[in-house]
């Protein structure tokens, strides 16, 4: 058995996205077919808990929409850089203690970038620098989420299709090892869209950071009152 998070966009909750851990039967193995079986098992377990339809967002997705929305495939237009994948924009903007940003990543595939040892051997991550636009590390996931949301607003047909789903998964995402998740970003896009706050959120970096920080603060206050 295994447990993985499913991300559920909300309309009236203090937080934009609720995270629910789902336990399901895990099929061991590294083969592509095995990973797709795990997606099926994961989604069947979510359906049993009343969460459907669910979209897997990764290259392991059962449908082409989920594959197209993988950060490896989804493109974002950055004025100073042109059109590049969300993954390349994110990884190429990292500034570490011992190096970065590694701008050559902007012209590489996601898989090529992931195999570059500099991502693991350059010390602590300090900030992000995307074409001289500087982002800090707080709120957590903000820069990645902003990139992903920006890409979706630039690809309207893909964004509209997301609105039909109740939950989003990424079979490769392990919250014990990673922070950013494309499935969470997709759920955030849906939540902001259904609350009519998407345009406000992407109007500027300051607006986006303010909305996210306020939502986190409100959720923490409510959680504190309940404890």
Could you report the per-residue pLDDT of 68-107, keeping only the tens digit for each? 999 999 999 999 899 999 999 999 999 999 999 999 999 9
Tell me what pLDDT residue 29 has: 76
Please check whether residues 61 and 85 belong to one and the same domain: no
How many Å apart are CA 189 and CA 170, to the nearest integer?
A: 16
Coil/strand/helix, residue 144:
helix
Tell me what pLDDT residue 225 has: 57
Please check whether residues 8 and 45 belong to one and the same domain: yes
Strand partners, 128: 94, 135
Q: Where are the alpha helices (DSSP H) in the chain?
A: 32-48, 64-68, 86-92, 110-114, 118-121, 142-154, 156-162, 182-194, 198-202, 205-226
Q: Is the pLDDT of residue 222 over 80?
A: no
Q: In what order do the strands lie in the sheet with 2-9?
A: 17-24, 2-9, 167-169, 54-56
Tell me what pLDDT residue 172 has: 92
- Residue 116 CB-half CA count within 13 A: 18
Contact 76, 84 (CB under 8 A): yes
Contact 79, 88 (CB under 8 A): no
Kindly give, in sequence order, each residue whose CB lies less than 8 Å from that of residue 50, ignoring residues fewer than 6 positions away.
none
Residue whose C-alpha is closest to residue 35's, from 168, 166, 169: 169
Mean pLDDT across the chain: 93
Q: Which domain holds residue 111?
A: 75-135
- Residue 82 CB-half CA count within 13 A: 4
Please check whether residues 122 and 165 belong to one and the same domain: no
| Distances, alpha carbon 200 to alpha carbons 34, 120, 195, 204, 210, in Å | 41, 36, 11, 8, 10
Contact 10, 166 (CB under 8 A): no
Please check whether residues 162 and 64 belong to one and the same domain: yes
| Kind of pairing between the strands at 125-130 and 133-135 | antiparallel
48 falls within a domain: yes
95 falls within a domain: yes
Domain count of the fold of the chain: 2
pTM as predicted: 0.94
Percent above pLDDT 90 for the chain: 85
Please check whether residues 64 and 109 belong to one and the same domain: no
Q: What is the DSSP string of 85-100?
A: EHHHHHHHTEEETTB-
Q: Is the pLDDT of residue 171 over 70?
A: yes
Tell me what pLDDT residue 226 has: 53
Q: Which of the listed residues 105, 135, 165 is the one where a domain comes to its end?
A: 135
* Mean pLDDT on 6-18: 95
Please check whether residues 104 and 208 belong to one and the same domain: no
How many Å apart are CA 76 and CA 185, to the nearest integer?
A: 14
Q: In what order do the strands lie in the sheet with 94-96?
A: 94-96, 125-130, 133-135
127 falls within a domain: yes
Please check whether residues 126 and 67 belong to one and the same domain: no
Tell me what pLDDT residue 31 has: 77
Q: In the structure encoding, which two tokens stand for residue 215, read together? A: 């939502």
């Amino acid at each position: 058995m295994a447990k993985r998070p499913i991300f559920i966009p909300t309309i009236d909750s203090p937080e934009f996205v609720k995270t629910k851990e789902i336990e399901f039967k895990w099929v061991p193995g590294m083969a592509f077919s095995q990973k797709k079986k795990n997606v099926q098992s994961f989604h069947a377990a979510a359906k049993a808990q009343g969460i459907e339809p669910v979209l897997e967002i990764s290259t392991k997705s059962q449908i082409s929409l989920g594959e197209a929305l993988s950060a490896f495939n989804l493109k974002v237009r950055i004025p100073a850089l042109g059109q590049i994948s969300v993954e390349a924009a994110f990884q190429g903007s990292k500034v570490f203690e011992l190096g970065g940003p590694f701008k050559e990543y902007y012209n590489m595939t996601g898989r090529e970038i992931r195999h570059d040892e500099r991502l693991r051997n350059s010390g602590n991550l300090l900030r992000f620098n995307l074409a001289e636009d500087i982002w800090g590390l707080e709120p957590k996931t903000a820069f990645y989420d902003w990139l992903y949301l920006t890409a979706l607003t630039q690809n309207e047909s893909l964004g509209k299709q997301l609105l039909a789903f109740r939950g989003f998964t990424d079979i490769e995402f392990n919250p014990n090892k990673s922070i950013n998740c494309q499935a969470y970003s997709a759920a955030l896009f849906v939540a902001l869209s259904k609350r009519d706050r998407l345009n406000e959120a992407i109007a500027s970096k300051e607006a986006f950071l303010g909305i996210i920080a306020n939502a986190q603060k409100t959720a923490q206050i409510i959680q504190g009152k309940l404890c």
